[in-house]
Structures are given as C-alpha cells and as structure tokens.
Amino acid sequence: MTGNDKPLIRRAVLLDEEPVCALLAELGGKLAIPTGSARNSAWHALITHTGTLVYVADINGKIASTATIHILPNMTNGARPYALIENVITNQNYRNIGLGRLLMEHAIREAWNANAYKIMLLTGKFRKDGGSIGFYKKLGFRSDEKSAMTMRRVPERD
C-alpha cells in the first residue's frame, strides 16, 4: 500500500459478491461457499438482513479485507443488543499494514453505536501463524471471561 492508497471502509453492496467470496475462500479449511444462483441468493440475504452489516476495506476499487457484524436483539442487560463478529479476513497481499485493525475498529464502533453491551467473536485456535488471537487481544478482546463452544452439523452429501 502506498501513501495514495488510503483504504475506504464501507458497507458491502451487491456488486461486491465476487471479491468478498474470493476473500472468504482464503479463510481455508473446509468452507462450503455456494456457487451460482445459490451464492447470489445467499449473498443477497446476507447483505440485506436486518441487523447484519458486512464491511469491506476498499483500496482503489479492490476489496482487500472484509468482516461481518451481526447486531442481535436481547432481553438481558436492559434489553440492549449484543454483537457477533464473524468472517474477518484480509487478503494476504494486504496483511500487516493495519488494514484489519481499521476494519475491526470500524465494526467495534458500529456495535457500540448500536448500544450493544458486548461484542463476541470466535477465531481459530490453530492457525499456522498464531496471529489471530494476539490481533484480537490488541483490539481489547479477552479470552479469560467466557468459554466459547461450537457445534457443527455436517451437511448431507448427495
């Protein structure tokens, strides 16, 4: 990134489907990103879903990073919502220049602006570079307060 390449943090739009899906594929593992009309439908549902915000870092028209934040209604904590951040990824050519931090700081501000009482996220425990946990801790996330658990349902194969 040069001095002229100031990132624009913005909401994703319908036309961002292809570059965002390409970024999500970089998350690795056995992610099942749909193709064709199923992908089009899923993308439309995601970016138009009430309470869901998909943000991108755009550098000169190239989507270099993305994050999804869900603002969820709640009955506790004075009926204040809580936020869940998911699918945070920066293209490998744009890592370690502060872009992920800018995007996450924007998502965090959005959660606080929505009066969320907490923000949650899950990150992989066993990344090769070990960087994601340290990255989130530097942003203020803590892992000593709660324990995260997941359950996955494997889709049936045809």
pLDDT, residue 145, reads 81
Which of the four CATH numbers 2.60.120.260, 3.40.640.10, 3.40.630.30, 3.20.20.70 does domain 8-138 have?
Answer: 3.40.630.30
pLDDT, residue 52, reads 97
Numbers of helices and strands, H then E, in the chain: 4, 5
pLDDT, residue 72, reads 97
Edge-to-edge strand order for the sheet containing 52-59?
8-11, 52-59, 62-72, 82-90, 119-121
Task: Write the DSSP symbol of residue 96.
Answer: T
* Lowest-pLDDT choice from 2-11, 22-31, 102-111, 148-157: 148-157
Domain coordinates in residue numbering, the chain: 8-138
Q: Are 24 and 31 in contact (CB under 8 A)?
A: yes
**Quick one: average pLDDT of 114-127?**
84
Q: What does the chain come to in residues?
A: 158
**Quick one: average pLDDT of 115-137?**
78
